[in-house]
Amino acid sequence: MAKEEHAIILDYLPNGYPLDTRPIHKKTPIAQAIGKEYFVLLELVPKKGISLQSHEEVYLGEGKRDKIHHILGRISLDKLTQTAKSELEFILDQLVDKYEKRFVEFFSTCGPINTRRHHLELIPGIGKKHMWEIIEARKEKPFESFEDIRQRVKLLPDPKQSVIKRILMEINNEDKHKLFTG
């Protein structure tokens, strides 16, 4: 199972969940976050006296963590707060920008799943026709950026937005195939 080293805070609830019926002194602060590498949605408990901000990056790896006491576990998309849900797409947009090279490399190197289906076809907006155009274009030379893909493959929907849609589908468990999430 993929382990996240860093996560980005989507929402911070200093008094825990509002629907938690326990008395206030028993509630713990909760942070909802998304992993930077595998886009895993996580529920985190900050160290005592630590306050977190939306969009803040925190370390979750082995060894000394400066802000996070422990990871409660993974959470599903439907368990996110409204704030976390609204931040999710914005933060995904930033992460896909930041790691554009990784996603562009996927377009340049991915292969078939089986004899009838290709990994490219799992990306929203890419059917057989676009798949073949991408395969032909990458034979000339690997893609260098999302913009390069858009210019070399005619009428292709925005590849960056398609990747973000795919990541959201995977986070929501809409497909058994995982291209980008842990």
We report the CATH number of the domain holding residue 35 as 2.40.50.140
If DSSP codes are grouped into helix, strand and coil, which group holds residue 133?
helix
Structure tokens at 173: 């468990």
The sign of the torsion formed by the CA atoms of 115, 120, 125, 130 equals negative
pLDDT surpasses 70 at 1: no
pLDDT surpasses 90 at 21: no
How far apart CA 59 and CA 90 sit, in angstroms, is: 20
Domain that holds residue 132: 99-171
Identify the domain boundary among 81, 116, 147: 81
Domain match, 14 and 69 both: yes
Identify the domain boundary among 53, 81, 109: 81
How far apart CA 111 and CA 114 sit, in angstroms, is: 9
- pLDDT tens for 128-163 read 999 999 999 999 999 999 999 999 999 999 999 999
pLDDT surpasses 80 at 2: no
CATH code, domain carrying 159: 1.10.150.280
If DSSP codes are grouped into helix, strand and coil, which group holds residue 35?
strand
Domain match, 71 and 125 both: no
The predicted model scores a pTM of 0.92
Q: Residue 52: name the closest of 43, 61, 39 by CA.
A: 43
Residue-level pLDDT at 182: 78
Asked if 7 and 38 touch (Cβ cutoff 8 Å), the reply is no
| H/E stretch holding 58 | strand 57-59
Domain count, the chain: 2
User: How far is residue 156 from each of residues 62, 108, 173, measured CA to CA in Å?
Assistant: 42, 15, 25
- pLDDT tens for 42-82 read 999 999 999 999 999 999 999 899 999 999 999 999 999 99
Domain match, 73 and 110 both: no
Q: What integer is the mean pLDDT of 113-133? A: 96
Percentage of the chain beyond pLDDT 70 is 99
Q: Which amino acid is at 79?
A: K
